[in-house]
Amino acid sequence: MSRFSESIRSHLLETFSGDTQGTPYWVKNIEEGDNVGFFGPGSASWAVHGGMPTMVAGIRALLMQTLHPGAMAGVHDWSRYKEDPLGRLAGTIQWLITVTFGDTQLAEHESSRVAKFHDRVKGTYIDAQGIERTYSAGDPELLYWVHVVFTDAFLGCHQAWGDPIPGGADQYVSEWSIAGELVGVADPPRSEEELIAALHKFNTDGVLKHDERVEETIAFLRKPPLRRSMMPFYRIMFAGAVESIPDEYRQILGLKKPWWPASWLTGVILKMLRSLLGPSSTSEDAARTRIARLEAEGKLAS
C-alpha cells in the first residue's frame, strides 16, 4: 500500500472510529456476551450498517435532521459538533455499531447511555408557525423524527450504492425499529411504506422549517474540519448525499442536485474506500468471534 493510501486509510479509521487502527476500546466489548444479539449474521441490519454507504448515509441523516426546528435547537444548544465534530460522530457510531453487532445486554446498555445523555437536553425553539415551544431530547416527536430520518438515510443510501439487502427494505426497517424502541421511540415504522409515510407527514403537517440554523449547519457539513487530503473525497460524498435526498426535502433544505454525476462518482469513491479498509469491519469481526465462541461452547441453538 502506498504511503498516500495508508495515510488516507489511517485518517478514515480515526475519523469514523476514533482509532487509527480502526479498533476503538469499545469494540472489544462486542466480543463479549452470551447471545447472538438482536440481529446477527445474514440480517438486514448487519448488511446495511456493515456497508460502505453508511459514510454517505451519515451526511444525509444530518442534513435531514436539521429540518425539524426542535431537533435543530437541541443540536445548536447542546451539541459540541463545532468544537469536536469527530468526537460527536464517533459517539453516534459507537451506539450504531454496538446495537447492530453487540449482544442484547450490551445493546441495551449502550442505548441506556444515550438515553441518559438525552435527559439533560432541554430548551425552547420557534416552530415553523412562529410559535415558541419547549423541547427535550426525550420528546416523543423528536425521538420519532430522528429515528425516521436515520432509518431513511441509511436505507436510501444502501439502496443507491450497496448490495441487495437480505429480506429487502421492509426487513431492514422492521429490524431497526428495535433500535428505535431501545432509545424510547414509540411505535416506529416497520416497513418501507410506513417509513416514507411517516417522513412525509412531518412535511405535510407543516413541522419542517428552513432558517439560519439550517444554513449554518449545512455550511459546516459542506466543509467540515477534515484533513485537506480527505476533502476531495468528502465533497463527492456530500454531493452524493444531497442528490440522494428526495426532492421535497432537498427543496426545503435549499440544495440543488449537482450538475455533474455525483451519484456515480460517489459509488466509485465508496468502492475505493472499501478496498482500502478491507472487506469487513473490526466490529463485525468481533461479533463473529463472539458467535463462534458461543457455538463452540454449545450455547447457541442449532
Give the total number of structural domains in the chain.
Answer: 1
Average pLDDT of the residues of the chain: 86
Left, alpha or beta for 273 (phi > 0: left; psi -120 to 50: alpha)? alpha
**Least-confidence region, from 136-140, 236-240, 252-256:** 136-140
pLDDT band at 114 (very low <50, low <70, confident <90, very high): confident
Q: With CA atoms as reference, report the closest residue to 121 among 73, 81, 84, 82.
A: 73
pLDDT of residue 74: 79
pLDDT of residue 226: 78
pLDDT of residue 15: 54
- Whether the CB-CB separation of 100 and 106 falls below 8 Å is answered with no
Which positions ≥6 away from 157 have C-beta within 8 Å? 53, 54, 56, 57, 60, 241, 244
282 located within any domain: no
Phi, psi of 152 (to 5 degrees): -60, -45
Task: Tell which wins on pLDDT, 114 or 142.
Answer: 142
Cα(70)–Cα(136) distance, integer angstroms: 8
Task: Tell which wins on pLDDT, 118 or 186.
Answer: 186
**Least-confidence region, from 11-20, 227-236, 292-301:** 11-20
Q: 26 pLDDT exceeds 90?
A: no
Tens digit of pLDDT for each residue in 250-287?
Answer: 999 999 999 999 999 999 999 988 887 766 678 888 99
Mean pLDDT of 98-110: 94
281 located within any domain: no
14 located within any domain: no
pLDDT of residue 260: 94
3 located within any domain: no
pLDDT of residue 1: 47
pLDDT band at 242 (very low <50, low <70, confident <90, very high): very high
Q: 76 pLDDT exceeds 90?
A: no
24 located within any domain: no
26 located within any domain: no
Q: 118 pLDDT exceeds 70?
A: no
- Whether the CB-CB separation of 118 and 182 falls below 8 Å is answered with no
Cα(46)–Cα(285) distance, integer angstroms: 11
- Whether the CB-CB separation of 92 and 112 falls below 8 Å is answered with no
Cα(186)–Cα(14) distance, integer angstroms: 34
pLDDT of residue 103: 94
Query: How is residue 274 written as a grid cell?
Result: 472499501
pLDDT of residue 302: 47
Tens digit of pLDDT for each residue in 143-168?
Answer: 999 999 999 999 999 999 999 999 99
Neighbours of 153 (CB within 10 A): 25
Mean pLDDT of 82-106: 77
pLDDT of residue 200: 96
45 located within any domain: yes
Mean pLDDT of 205-228: 89
Range of the domain at 196: 36-84+104-276
Mean pLDDT of 62-78: 85
pLDDT of residue 280: 65
4 located within any domain: no
Q: 4 pLDDT exceeds 50?
A: no
Cα(116)–Cα(32) distance, integer angstroms: 23
Query: How is residue 13 written as a grid cell?
Result: 479509521
> How far does Cα 96 stand from its chain's mean position?
7
Mean pLDDT of 116-131: 81
